[in-house]
């Protein structure tokens, strides 16, 4: 493994702080990113035990964004049309944003964060609050194998990929389909979106890296769709190598070609990226300093895990941002880890009391700009740091 980026000491990204805990010293870890020349995997170097991150206080709910709701709904329509599954397993079912589009008898959820698992269990969807493992796979598929296994934004959070794929291979029927969706490394590097790296995102996958892992488990990708979620993701359609029901589409060859052309198999690409990240930091700080000199009122918009990486790496706190707005009830009245900026209940932006908003949730730019069109019309601006820090509005 070759380390290529050091994002400094970081707290756990989703550990929002209560007021009474503000004075307690937070646990921090060194966030460094590395490239494995052998299998092309890009991963964080120091990992945090999963129980510290995914437990019954997990704050992120997929259903809270219209963009995500629509993305899952569109996908379910396609799944019903093309694959007509009779038994689905979802690994990382969160609050049920995908599950709820299927009949209860058709689908089983796996969600180790019990606060989230409860939300689907209460609606009578079978949901196991456990980490995905071979043991659990055996329990779920004792009587029949799954003809569809779905997992989005979950694989990148799991350290032991081998165990995951052994369990997937065990529980998938011979003609079954595995659909995985995770942020695309190509988009992350292209967009200088270094905030895709935080404690929970152990990996950001390229197709060439995923292909190497799948190979070991006799699985192969037969189609890839580029999606816009999380700043650019890939949705991989995967089958057992012995399954001849699906032809391998050109999309697979094309995506690999794009990645190789960009150099995702070469360390030099990552070293260049690292230089761009350092420049991005300087430029972002510079923007904040200029705005502060003008005595403008700056707030944050969307207290994301991604923001945690940016704020702590660039040492941005109350020196620049007064508070954040966020729609997630769990985050409201808490403080962002590390930077300790207060998160307030979301209110529509108003030029009378805000001049500029730092867009922590930049991956929802379109949805947010639509919501805040009056603020923008009145001259309000956003700071967006990807692909390069700038003011927009
Ligand atoms: P998310 O995109 O999942 O980012 P991360 O994985 O980095 O945490 O989180 C989006 C956050 O932004 C979430 O806390 C909700 C918030 N948000 C708003 O406050 N307003 C909005 O209009 C949208 C779309 C999101």
How far is residue 359's CA from residue 348's CA, in Å, rounded to a whole number? 14
Which residue has a Cα nearest atom 2 of ligand 1?
361
> Is the distance from CB of 242 to CB of 173 less than 8 angstroms?
no
pLDDT at 100: 93
Q: How far is the CA of 68 from the centre of ligand 1 (A)?
A: 10
Q: Answer whether 65 contacts ligand 1 (Cβ < 6 A).
A: yes
Distance, in Å, from the CA atom of 259 to the CA atom of 321, rounded to the nearest integer, reads 37
Each residue of 276-306: pLDDT tens digit? 999 999 999 999 999 999 999 999 999 999 9
pTM score, whole prediction: 0.95
More confident residue, 64 or 72: 72
Tell me the CA–centroid distance for residue 365 and ligand 1, in Å. 10
pLDDT of residue 192: 98
For the chain, give the mean pLDDT.
Answer: 96
Query: Reduced to 3 states, what is the DSSP secondary structure of residue 3?
Result: strand
Quick one: which atom of ligand 1 is closest to the CA of 331? Answer: 14
- Sign of the C-alpha dihedral computed for residues 372, 62, 304 and 45 taken in this order: negative
Residue pLDDT, tens place only, 132-168: 999 999 999 999 999 999 999 999 999 999 999 999 9
Q: Which atom of ligand 1 is nearest to the CA of 62?
A: 3
- CA 338 – ligand 1 centroid, Å: 18
Report pLDDT digits (tens) over 162-200.
999 999 999 999 999 999 999 999 999 999 999 999 999
Ligand 1 contact, 364 CB (< 6 A): yes
67 — pLDDT class (breaks 50, 70, 90): confident
Q: Which of 60-64, 133-137, 272-276, 313-317 has the lowest mean pLDDT?
A: 60-64
ω into 387 cis (within 30 of 0): yes
DSSP calls for 159-219:
S-HHHHHHHHHHHEEEEEEEEEEEEBHHHHHHTT-GGG-STT--B-B-HHHHHHHHHHTTE
Angle in degrees, CA 306, 311, 314, rounded to 5? 125
């Amino acid at each position: 493994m070759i380390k290529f980026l050091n994002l400094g000491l970081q707290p756990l990204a989703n550990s929002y702080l209560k007021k009474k805990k503000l004075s307690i010293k937070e646990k921090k870890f060194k966030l460094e990113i590395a490239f494995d020349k052998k299998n092309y995997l890009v991963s964080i170097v120091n990992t945090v035990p999963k129980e510290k991150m995914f437990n019954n206080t997990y704050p992120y709910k997929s259903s809270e964004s219209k963009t995500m709701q629509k993305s899952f709904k569109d996908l379910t329509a396609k799944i019903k049309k093309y694959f007509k599954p009779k038994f689905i397993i979802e690994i990382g079912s969160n609050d049920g944003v995908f599950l709820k589009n299927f009949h209860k008898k058709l689908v089983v959820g796996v969600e180790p964060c019990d606060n989230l698992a409860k939300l689907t269990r209460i609606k009578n969807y079978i949901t196991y609050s456990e980490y995905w493992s071979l043991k659990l796979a055996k329990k779920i598929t004792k009587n029949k194998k799954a003809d569809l296994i779905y997992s989005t934004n979950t694989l990148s959070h799991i350290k032991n990929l081998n165990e995951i794929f052994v369990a997937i291979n065990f529980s998938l029927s011979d003609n079954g389909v595995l659909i995985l969706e995770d942020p695309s490394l190509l988009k992350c590097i292209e967009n200088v979106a270094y905030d895709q790296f935080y404690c929970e995102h152990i990996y950001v996958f390229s197709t060439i890296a995923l292909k190497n892992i799948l190979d070991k488990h006799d699985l192969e990708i037969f189609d890839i769709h580029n999606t816009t979620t999380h700043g650019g993701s890939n949705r991989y359609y995967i089958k057992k190598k012995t399954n001849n029901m699906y032809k391998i589409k050109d999309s697979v060859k094309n995506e690999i070609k794009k990645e190789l052309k960009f150099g995702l198999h070469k360390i030099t690409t990552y070293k260049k990226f690292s230089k761009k990240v350092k420049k991005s930091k300087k430029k972002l700080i510079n923007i904040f300093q200029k705005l502060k000199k003008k005595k403008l009122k700056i707030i944050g918009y969307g207290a994301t895990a991604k923001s945690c990486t940016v704020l702590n790496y660039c040492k941005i706190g109350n020196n620049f941002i007064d508070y954040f707005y966020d729609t997630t009830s769990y985050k409201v009245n808490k403080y962002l880890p590390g930077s300790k900026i207060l998160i307030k209940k979301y209110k529509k932006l108003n030029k009378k009391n805000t001049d500029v908003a730092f867009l922590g949730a930049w991956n929802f730019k379109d949805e947010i700009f639509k919501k805040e069109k009056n603020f923008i019309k009145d001259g309000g601006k956003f700071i967006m740091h990807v692909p390069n820090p700038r003011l927009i509005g």
